[in-house]
Amino acid sequence: MFNSDTITKFQSTETPFYYYDMEVLRQTLQACHDASAQYNFHVHYALKANFNPKVLDMIQSFGFGADCVSGGEVKAAIEHGFGKEKVVFAGVGKSDKEINLALDADIFCFNVESVQELHIINELAAAKNKVAKVAIRINPNVDAHTHHFITTGLDENKFGVNTWQLTDVVEALRASKNLEFLGIHFHIGSQITDMEVYKSLCIRINEMQDWFEDHGFQIKVLNTGGGLGVDYYNPDTNTISDFESYFKVFKDFLNVKPGQEVHFELGRALVAQSASLISRVLYVKNGQKKNFLVLDAGMTELIRPMLYQAYHVIENLTQNSSPTTQDLKYDVVGPICESTDCFRKDVDLPESFRGDIIAVRSAGAYGEVMASGYNLRERVQSVYSE
């Protein structure tokens, strides 16, 4: 990913910063577009993964819709050219202010996560003399086989409506004059690489749409959510996720009826590999049992390893060009006053020195968007390949 000219540029740039390879982003978006277009599937980009302005502009240019989980994301999507007819608004805790903002924007659909939320959206829509389009997010109780902090489709998760509440849902829909029922929505988790999981999801979606039709509701939209993972271990050799296999699972196993649309909400798979966090070694601490590389980037710039033990490839770009350099094991840590501020332990790296440039790979998803000002740290810049 990094040629000698790029590394030279990094040496003269203030660190830390996020580096975006816009060609990788473009190729990833093209692959997703082409694979989904084979089946006329609709893809909404999940803004929560990355809402860098240049990233949003490129994603929008491919004609994708927007999957939003806050009023701020709805606003950003529309400002960056995502058509309101392609904006969906999910989230277990939508405030009245956020719902009103989305109603005023005439978005495509609210993905509703509770019976009470149905009543609230109906009341707020009635006050504006509007009809809000809604899909019901159903908790399918499908295990995504991923980290328990990022699974969302089990009974004990806070998201969605559980199946034993569906009778209350249809009663609320029948009583709500200012709601238009579009369909059903699912999202079972994140960083899913096992396609068998999506087969199980398809079976549950088929069952749920039959249930709604048996109760007199026509389904126009089947929203399958997202969650497709990326290869954090091999960002150079397996850069683009297998969109072909992913969409084919739904083509083969989802019971799509005439006139129905199938929607997806992909985030990580579109942006994760397009960016790295670039940092500089501040100090090398050699101990009797441990060697530490203390970087100028930490959990304030990339919290995933500290939050749920996420793995990222770490490279010493300065020393990688020296094949005679001996490898040592380092705990790669940040400067933040927290013991958990550690990117990875026992990382094999060439012998490293103060000032070396370090790349933490696959930081395009849930990197910049989760950055914080903890310890009164300044937000860092983004640098682009073009």
pLDDT per position as a tens digit, 87-135 = 999 999 999 999 999 999 999 999 999 999 999 999 999 999 999 999 9
Helix (H, G, I), strand (E, B) or coil at 189: strand
pLDDT at 153: 39
Distance CA 298, CA 142 (A): 34
Q: Is residue 294 within 8 Å of 283, Cβ to Cβ? A: yes
The strand ranges marked E within the chain are 17-20, 42-46, 65-68, 87-89, 109-112, 132-137, 179-185, 221-223, 261-266, 275-286, 291-295, 314-316, 327-333, 342-350, 357-360, 381-384
pLDDT at 150: 39
Predicted confidence (pLDDT) per residue in 295-350, tens digit: 999 999 999 999 989 999 999 999 986 666 788 999 999 999 999 999 999 999 99
Q: How far is CA 377 from the centre of its chain?
A: 25
Q: How confident is the model at residue 386 (pLDDT cuts 50, 70, 90)?
A: confident
Looking at the DSSP bridge assignments, the partners of residue 360 are 277, 314
Average pLDDT of the chain, as a whole number: 94
Looking at the DSSP bridge assignments, the partners of residue 68 are 89
- For residue 1, the one-letter residue type is M
CB 119: neighbour CB atoms within 10 A? 14
Distance CA 73, CA 349 (A): 39
Looking at the DSSP bridge assignments, the partners of residue 221 are 183, 261
| Bigger pLDDT: 4 vs 316 | 316
Write down all domains in the chain, each with its CATH number in brackets: 4-17+273-384 (2.40.37.10), 22-272 (3.20.20.10)
